[in-house]
Structure 1
Amino acid sequence: MSLLSLAEELRCQSGLLAKRDIRPAASVFNHVPFPHLGKPGRLGDDAALLPAQSGQLLMACEGMHPALVVEDPWFAGWSGVLVNLSDIAAMGGRPLAVVNSVWTAGPDSLQRLLEGMSSACDRFAVPMVGGHSNQQSPYEALSVAVLGVAEGPVLSARSASPGDELWLLVNRSGRFYRHYPFWDAATAASPGLLRSHLSLLPALAADGIVHAAKDISMGGLCGTAVMFAESCGSPITLELDAIERPDQVDEQAWLRCFPSFGYLLAVRPSMTGRLQRMLQGDPHLICCRIGSFGSGPCRVALQREGDQELLWDGSEGLTGFGCD
C-alpha cells in the first residue's frame, strides 16, 4: 500500500471520525475549569486534572430515566447534574467536578442535553470536566457522575441511632415540573440561592447539628425514609400530620415527589433548637420534625392521630445495602 493510500485509509477510519462527536461538548463547556492548574488543567486530556483536596473524597453517579431524556433533553441534562450535586451535599460534602456519558441518534437532542448540563454547572458553579459522547446510538441515554470532598464530618445515613429525631428540610418555593413528580425549586432560582442552599448540609455537619442525612430521591419522602431505615438498621416512625408542605399541594403528591432540594435529617434532640435557629431566617425553606428513629427491628411505619400502619418491613430488604 502506498503512503498516500495508507494516509487515506487511516484518515477515514471510523474510530477517528467518531471523535468528532466530542465537538458539541467542546463548544458548550468551559475549557479551563481551574485556571491555576495551567495547561495540564485544560479539558481534552485523557483524564481531568483537579486541584488537590484535604478532605475525604465522595463519588456519586446517576443515570437519567430514558423517557425523560427523550421527552425533555434539556431538563434531563439539568437534572443529571442537580441530582449528583444533591447526593454529595447529603453526605456533608462539596462538589468538585462532574463528568457525563451521553448517547444520542444525532446532534439535536445531544445539544439540548449538553445545554441543560451546562446551565446547571454554571448556576451551581461546579465545572464539567470530561465525559463520553456518541451520536450514532440507536437510543438516547445520559449518565452523570460527580466527585466531591467532605472537609468536615461525613453525614452517612448509617450514623442515625435510636432516639434521634427525623427532620425534613426542603425548599417550598417551587412548582411541579410539567407532568413529572418533580418539585422544581431550582430552574427559576438565582445562582446565589442555589449555591447557598447546597452549602447548608456541610455547614450543619461541621457544626455537629446534623449527624446523618439522606437526599430525597425518586422514591419520594416515604421511599427515602425506607432507604434511611435500611441503612441505619433502626425503625422509623413517620408522623404524617407533622409533614409541612406548600399551600395547594396535595399530600400524596408531596409524599411521592422528588424535590430539587430536599433532605431527611437525623438530629439529636439536644440539637433541634440550633437547627431551627440556623434555618429560620430563610423563607424558602421548610424545616420540621416529621418522625423519630426507634429501637427494635428495622421497619418504617406511618402514623396519624394515634393510628399506625406498616409501610415497609425491613426483613424484606430493598436495595441490598442494609445495615449488617
Structure 2
Amino acid sequence: MTAVEPFLTSMGGPRLHDPVLVEPGDAAGVAAHRRLRRAAFVADQGLFADHDLDVVDDDPATTVLVARRHDDGAVLGGVRVHPHDGHGGLGWWRGSRLVVDPGAERGVGARLVRAATALAEDRGAVRFDATVQADKEAFFARLGWTTLDRTTVAGAPHVLMLGPGDRLARAVADKAPLGRLVGDLVPGGAGWVGDDAAPVPGAALVAACDAITPAMVERDPEWAGWCAVLVNVNDLAAMGAVPVGLLDAVAGRSEEHVAAVLRGIRAAAEAYGLPVLGGHTQVGQHGALAVTALGATDDPVPGGGGRPGDVVHLVADLGGGWRPGHAGRQWDSTTHRRPRELRELVGTLARHRPAAAKDVSMAGLVGTLAMLAEASGTGAELDVAGVPRPEGAAMADWLTCFPGFALLTADRPGATPPSSPRATTAPVGRLTAPSPAGAVSLVWPDGRRTLAVAAPATGLGPAAAVPPPTEEALR
C-alpha cells in the first residue's frame, strides 16, 4: 500500500481515508512547496525581492513536509524541518517556510505544524522553534507553542516561538507519585529524603536498593543481572561510600532463566569486588529482580546538599556504546572496563567530597538534575552546549538515557570538582533559586532558556525540610 492509497480495514470494510495526507515531499512535492512559498512570501507579501531560497534548502538534513489532497494528490501546503544553524548536534531544530494554499481545506496549516513537531522530536530535537509572522502568534499558541521573543524579519514583525515537547519531562514522569506513596515514611531519614542510598542508624554504612523492570529481566536476563549490581554500586558511589556487599532477590520462569540472571549478577559482583552475602531465589515465577547493597562511609554525600549558586558538574565515563537492543536508552560504559578501572570510578566521590551528588539514573541527566535540585530546595539550569557526550549519542538520547556510570555533583563556586582519569568532568550548569524546587531550565547558545522540567520530580520535597517522624507516627 503506497502512502497516498486509502486505508483498508482488516475486515474488508469500507475505505477510510483522511482527505489530506502530510508526508515528506518528493522532488515534485518540494517544487510545489517552493512555488507556494514564492507566491506567498515574494509576490503577495513582498518579504523577499526575487525568491525566498536560502542555505536551508540545500541542507541534506532538511526535510520538507507537504500536505497533499488525498483525492488528486495536489500539494496544499508545506513546511521545512531542519537543524538550526549548525546546532543540530545539540538537538536544536527549527521549522520554517510554513505556507498553505489560500484555497486549501480548513486545518491544513495545523496539520503541517503538528506533523513538523512530531518529525522534529523523532529526529532528536530537544528544542524546536520557529520565527513566525506576528499575526500568526495566536494560531501557534492554540497548538501549544509559547512565545520566546519578538523580532523583525524583512521589515515585518515576527515572533520567535517554541514548539511543544515533553520528551525530557517524560523521562522523569514515573517518579511523580513517590511523594504521595512513600513521603510519610521519610525514606532515608530527615536530611536524606530522596537520596540514592540511606544511612544506616548507628553504623558507618549506607544501604541502597534497586529493582530491575520485569520486561528487562525477561528480555535480557544476563544484562539485567549486571545492571542490578551496577545501579546499586552507582547509588553507593554517589554517596561517597565504598561498596562492601550485596543481597539479591531473583525470580524466573525456568532454571535456565534464573541462571542467566545470576550469571550477570556474579559477573558484575566479581568485577566490582563485591561479595554476594545472600538473597532469595524462586523458579517457576514471572521474572523479577531486586538487589540491596551496603557501602561503608562515615561521611555520606547528600543528594540535597546543594544551594543556589552552586556549580553543577557532570562526571561521566563516555567509553563504550549503546547496549544492543537498548539503543537510545541504555549506554553500556562498564562491561568493557577492567575491574580495577571500575573500582577506581566508583571511588571518585570518596576521594573528593562535593556538597551534593546523585548518580544519573534511568530518569536521565535532566531528570536526575531535577531530583538533585528538588532535594536541595533549589531550581537548576543546564548548559546544553557544555554537556559532554559520547560521539555516538544524540543529545536528546544522552539527556534522557541511563548512561552507565555518570554522576552529577553540586558545589560552591571555585571548589575543585571530583575527577577520574577514566571519566570526563565538565561544568554543565548551576543551581538556582527555586521556581519551584526541582524545576530545570536548559540554557542555549543564544542565551535563551527553555523549561525542561516544570514541577518537582518526586513530590518528596527538599530533604532538609522533611521533619523526622514523631513517636506517635512510629507506633
Range of TM-score over shorter length:
0.7 to 0.9
Q: Secondary structure at the match of 1:126?
A: coil
Please say if 1:310 is aligned against 2:451.
yes
1:198: Cα distance to partner?
0.7
Partner of 1:319: 458
SS at match of 1:81: helix
Partners of 1:296 and 1:256 in 2: CA distance: 22
Opposite residue 81 of structure 1, the aligned amino acid is V
Aligned partner of residue 275 in structure 1, secondary structure: coil
1:1-324 to 2 correspondences below 5 Å: 56-137=204-285, 139-151=286-298, 153-180=299-326, 181-205=329-353, 210-271=354-415, 274-275=416-417, 279=420, 282=421, 284-297=422-435, 298=437, 299-305=439-445, 306-314=447-455, 317-323=456-462, 324=465
Quote the Cα distance in structure 2 between the aligned partners of 1:288 and 1:318.
24
CA contact 1:55–1:150 (8 Å) conserved in 2: no
Amino acid at match of 1:171: D
Task: Decide which structure has the larger Cα Rg and report it.
Answer: 2
Letter in 2 for 1:237: E
Q: Report the Cα offset of residue 216 of structure 1.
A: 0.2
Deviations 1:207-237 (CA, angstroms, capped at 9, x unpaired): xxx1210110001101111111111110101
* Residue 179 (structure 1) shift: 2.6
- d(CA) in 2 for partners of 1:296 and 1:112? 46
Partner Cα separation in structure 2 for residue 79 and residue 97 of structure 1: 15
Query: Which letter maps to 2:370?
Result: V
1:290-319 Cα offsets, whole Å, 9 max, x none, are 0001124322111102111112223xx332
Q: Aligned AA for 1:147?
A: L
Q: What secondary structure is seen at the aligned counterpart in 2 of 1:157? A: coil
Distance 2:246 2:385 in 1: 39
SS at match of 1:269: coil
Counterpart of 2:417, as a letter, is L
User: 2:304 touches 2:376 (CA, 8 Å); kept in 1?
Assistant: yes
> Deviation above 4 Å: which 4+ runs of structure 1?
none
User: Is the partner of 2:417 in helix, strand or coil?
Assistant: helix
Structure 1: distance between partners of 2:291 and 2:382 = 32
Which residues of structure 1 form unaligned runs of 5+?
A: 1-53
| Gap regions ≥5 residues in structure 2 | 1-201, 466-475
Residue deviations 1:54-93 (CA, integer Å, cap 9, x gap): 9622111111011110111111001001100110110111
What secondary structure sits across from 1:159 in the alignment? coil
Partner of 2:304: helix, strand, or coil? helix
Q: Distance in 1 between matches of 2:322 and 2:280?
A: 31
Between the aligned partners of 1:91 and 1:129, the Cα distance in structure 2 is 21
Larger proportion of helix: 1
**How many residues end up aligned between the 2 structures?**
258
- 1:59 is paired with a residue of what secondary structure? strand
Percent of aligned pairs sharing the same letter = 32
Aligned partners of 1:103 and 1:136 also within 8 Å: yes
CA deviations over 1:231-289 (Å, ceiling 9, x no partner): 11101011101111122321111111111110101022121xx337x54xx2x321100
TM-score (norm 2): 0.53
Q: CA RMSD in A?
A: 1.7
